[in-house]
């Protein structure tokens, strides 16, 4: 039973990607996060931690 490539839809054998798409994927250059994206992620993580801390503190006070 032949499967089609998940990337291009052509017959690709039994793998998720055909040889052509696999070769193209291997040639892609890694793209990292910009400084702005890193800062945004840091702020979101920090905000989440503050939210969790607030919830824990509130629950501790309610359950004294």
Q: Three-state DSSP class for 50?
A: helix
CA 8 to centroid of chain Cα atoms: 22
Domains of the chain by residue range: 1-31, 32-64
pLDDT, residue 19, reads: 76
User: Would you give the end-to-end CA distance of the chain in angstroms?
Assistant: 64
Across 1-22, average pLDDT: 65
pTM: 0.43
Rg, the chain, Cα only: 23
Residues with Cβ < 8 Å from 5, sequence gap 6 or more? 11, 12, 15, 16, 17, 18, 21
Digit-coded pLDDT (tens) for 19-37: 777 777 778 787 888 999 9
């Amino acid at each position: 039973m032949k499967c089609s490539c998940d990337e291009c839809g052509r017959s690709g054998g039994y793998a998720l990607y055909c040889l052509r798409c696999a070769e193209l994927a291997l040639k892609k250059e890694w793209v990292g996060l910009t400084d702005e994206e890193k800062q945004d992620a840091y702020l979101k993580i920090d905000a989440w931690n503050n939210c969790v801390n607030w919830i824990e503190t509130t629950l501790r006070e309610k359950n004294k």
